[in-house]
């Protein structure tokens, strides 16, 4: 029991028709389902925001995709998305949830955004995922899902910081590509020693 597939935020709001749709977001579902059998464990993450989340542009009377400064750094202000209990927060209906050993919900603190599966954006508050993986003896992680340049990339980088071997299945991800974000995250991941598969 050494390997896990970490499936990041394959939720309706990140798929076509959703409030923060990633182009081709639904195209990752088939490849991810096909990958699951090759791993000892499968973990799903789920953005799970309260309606008053401070990462939402609507709560600042600001334009979506503008930025503001938070105590933990610069924050992109997103359209309202993945609000707790809504259809937008639900997993894509074709995603094989039955294979999931664990679902990690993140972003539920209204004052801190949470891209990574391991830490909220303050880089201090833990989700508990690292401890769970260590307790199970899992050392090798492969990431896939949405979106490559935010939640997938940040999760992979944090995995390395936490001492795990990390790879990203690039062809089972899709990106927002906001202001050069894809090039930045790919450069950071390569520098951190993360293996990029299917790039």
Q: Give pLDDT tens digits for 125-143.
A: 999 999 999 999 999 999 9
Whether the pLDDT of residue 37 is over 70: the answer is yes
The H-assigned helical ranges of the chain are: 29-35, 129-135, 153-161, 181-191
| pLDDT at residue 86 in the model | 98
Task: State the catalytic residue, choosing from 15, 106, 113, 173.
Answer: 106
Active site residue 151: yes
- Residue 117 Rama label (left phi>0; alpha psi -120 to 50; beta): alpha
Active site residue 101: no
| pLDDT at residue 1 in the model | 67
Task: State the catalytic residue, choosing from 9, 13, 80, 113.
Answer: 9
Q: Give pLDDT tens digits for 157-181.
A: 999 999 999 999 999 999 999 889 9
Task: State the catalytic residue, choosing from 149, 151, 158, 173.
Answer: 151
| pLDDT at residue 178 in the model | 86
Q: Give pLDDT tens digits for 40-69.
A: 999 999 999 999 999 999 999 999 999 999
182/42 Cα distance (integer angstroms): 25
CATH code where residue 81 lies: 3.40.50.850
137/133 Cα distance (integer angstroms): 6
- Determine the average pLDDT of the residues in 84-106: 97
Active site residue 177: no
* Cβ neighbours around 151 below 10 Å, total: 25
- Determine the average pLDDT of the residues in 101-107: 97
Domain count, the chain: 1
Structural domain of residue 21, as residue ranges?
3-197
Whether the pLDDT of residue 199 is over 80: the answer is no
Q: What 3-state class would DSSP assign to 11?
A: strand
Eight-state DSSP code of residue 88? G
Nearest to 120 by CA among 106, 110, 140, 134: 106
């Amino acid at each position: 029991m050494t390997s896990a597939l970490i499936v990041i935020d394959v939720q309706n709001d990140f798929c076509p028709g959703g409030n923060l749709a990633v182009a081709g977001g639904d195209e990752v579902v088939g490849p991810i389902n096909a990958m699951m059998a090759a791993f000892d464990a499968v973990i799903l993450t789920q953005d799970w925001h309260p309606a008053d989340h401070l990462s939402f542009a609507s709560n600042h009377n600001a334009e979506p995709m503008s930025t503001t400064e938070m105590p933990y750094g610069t924050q992109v202000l997103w359209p309202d998305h993945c609000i707790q209990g809504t259809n937008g927060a639900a997993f894509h209906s074709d995603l094989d949830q039955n294979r999931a050993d664990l679902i990690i919900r993140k972003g539920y603190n209204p004052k801190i955004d949470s891209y990574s599966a391991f830490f909220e954006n303050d880089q201090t508050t833990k989700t508990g995922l690292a401890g769970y993986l260590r307790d199970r003896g899992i050392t090798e992680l492969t990431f896939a899902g949405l979106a490559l340049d935010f939640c997938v990339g940040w999760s992979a980088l944090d995995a390395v910081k936490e001492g795990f071997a990390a790879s990203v299945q690039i062809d089972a991800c899709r990106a927002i590509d906001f202001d050069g974000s894809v090039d930045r995250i790919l450069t950071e991941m390569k520098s951190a020693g993360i293996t990029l598969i299917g790039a």
